């Protein structure tokens, strides 16, 4: 493969929903490897060691999902749910049931794809699961993931604790991915979240930039234009958080964005990353240094979490709900 220029790398990173740096980092190299595989280039199956990953796996998952075979999130990783979906598909078309997507299975997929067209069953399934959990926070498991870079670790950990206290008071189960002194890897944070069967992951960060004028709050959820997939619940929660914070503070609104970062892509639960201003901006840093401002941020998160689980008719306008309203309405338990 020819050597890519920094501009070509940036263009690829932008297209794939990665951090746009222009550097050929590990995440970009993995994405380049995944992008070279098209469905039919190789046989796909569940490996005993590391999972097969690539655009061909994502295409397989998309096609199976469109036809009603549940393989979980379209994430480009051939895991147990994908294998089970392949077996169900093979059983339905009368081919050998071995869970391997080889030539015969590919041919059957291509033949049926022309006549079978689905809506968005994966998105509908995710939305239905969220609605069925009900509005009460007492049965929800929320994982808070405070980042660990030196310039942000104390700020986001303090905000995480403020959110944790309020959630516990409302009856939710809350887990933090780290304490005051440890720094788990991204893989460890993802594994921890998945093992605790979280309903929601909230990853808390403060951004930084060489340009001190960069400022504002932004939220991110799992989504890939490349594969035509995104997390319905993740996108809704990211939008709610963004709107609540901007309605209650004077943070600049840097909007909501779909990304394919592993922390969003590999977490089974809907996952959202929130960048709470810039440590390199004097105004943002000044806001975040104030305890009362951090309290406002924490309350914004609580209201956004509750609004996520309220039905449309029970929801309220952005910036109007208070935690006391939740208690008085009996939503605590």
Q: Where are the beta strands (DSSP E) in 116-212?
A: 141-146, 173-176, 200-207
* Among 238, 217, 234, residue whose Cα is nearest residue 297: 217
Residue 314 has a pLDDT of 47
**pLDDT tens-digit readout, 167-188:** 999 999 999 999 998 999 999 9
What is the Rg, in whole angstroms, of the alpha carbon atoms belonging to the chain?
A: 21
Determine the pLDDT at residue 313.
42
Closest CA to 268 of 237, 304, 231, 242: 231
Helical spans, DSSP H, in the chain: 6-16, 26-35, 55-66, 80-93, 103-113, 121-132, 153-169, 186-195, 232-248, 262-265, 282-288, 291-309, 323-328
Architecture of domain 6-120: Orthogonal Bundle (1.10)
What are the tens digits of pLDDT across the range 25-61? Answer: 999 999 999 999 999 999 999 998 889 999 999 999 9
Separation of alpha carbons 302 and 241, rounded Å: 9
CA neighbor of 274 nearest in space, from 261, 286, 283: 261
User: Mapping DSSP to helix (H, G, I), strand (E, B) and coil, where does residue 278 land?
Assistant: strand
Residue 83 CB coordination number (10 Å): 18
Given this model, what pLDDT does residue 124 score? Answer: 52
Q: Which helix (H) or strand (E) holds 285?
A: helix 282-288
CATH top class, domain 128-328: alpha beta
Report the C-alpha gap between 245 and 223 in whole angstroms.
Answer: 22
Q: Sketch the domain layout of the chain as residue ranges.
A: 6-120, 128-328
Give the residue ranges of the chain where pLDDT is below 50.
Answer: 115-119, 312-314, 328-333
Q: Which two tokens stand for residue 293?
A: 């401002």
Length reported for the chain: 333
Whose tokens are 């263009």? That residue is 11
What pLDDT shows up at residue 228?
75
For the record, the structure tokens of 254 come out as: 């840097």
- Compute CA 95 distance to the chain's CA centroid, rounded to the nearest angstrom: 35
Q: In angstroms, rounded to a whole number, what is the distance separating the alpha carbons of residues 192 and 186?
A: 10
Q: Specify the residue for token string 């996520």.
A: 308
């Amino acid at each position: 493969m020819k050597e890519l220029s920094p501009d070509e790398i940036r263009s690829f990173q932008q297209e794939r929903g990665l951090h746009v740096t222009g550097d050929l980092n590990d995440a970009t190299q993995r994405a380049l490897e995944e992008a070279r595989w098209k469905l039919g280039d190789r046989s796909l199956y569940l490996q005993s060691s590391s999972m097969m990953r690539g655009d061909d796996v994502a295409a397989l998952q998309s096609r199976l999902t469109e036809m009603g075979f549940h393989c979980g999130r379209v994430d480009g990783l051939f895991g147990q749910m994908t294998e089970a979906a392949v077996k169900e598909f093979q059983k339905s078309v009368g081919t050998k049931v071995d869970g391997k997507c080889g030539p015969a299975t590919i041919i059957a997929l291509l033949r049926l794809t022309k006549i079978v067209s689905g809506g968005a069953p994966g998105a509908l399934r995710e939305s239905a699961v969220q609605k069925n959990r009900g509005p009460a926070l007492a049965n929800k498991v929320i994982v808070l993931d405070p980042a660990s870079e030196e310039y942000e670790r104390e700020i986001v950990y303090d905000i995480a604790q403020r959110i944790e206290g309020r959630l516990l008071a409302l009856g939710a189960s809350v887990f933090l991915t780290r304490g005051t002194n440890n720094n788990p890897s991204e893989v460890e944070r993802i594994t921890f979240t998945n093992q605790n069967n979280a309903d929601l992951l909230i990853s808390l960060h403060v951004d930084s930039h060489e340009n001190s004028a960069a400022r504002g709050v932004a939220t991110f959820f799992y989504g890939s234009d490349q594969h035509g997939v995104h997390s319905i619940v993740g996108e809704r929660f990211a939008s709610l958080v963004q709107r609540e914070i901007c309605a209650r503070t004077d943070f600049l609104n840097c909007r909501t964005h779909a990304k394919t970062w592993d922390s969003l892509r590999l977490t089974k639960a809907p996952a959202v990353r929130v960048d709470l201003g810039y440590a390199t901006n004097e105004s943002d840093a000044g806001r975040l240094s104030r305890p009362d401002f951090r309290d406002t941020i924490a309350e914004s998160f609580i209201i956004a979490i509750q609004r996520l689980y309220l039905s449309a008719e029970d929801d309220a306008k952005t910036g109007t709900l208070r935690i006391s309203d939740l208690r008085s309405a009996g939503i605590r338990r």
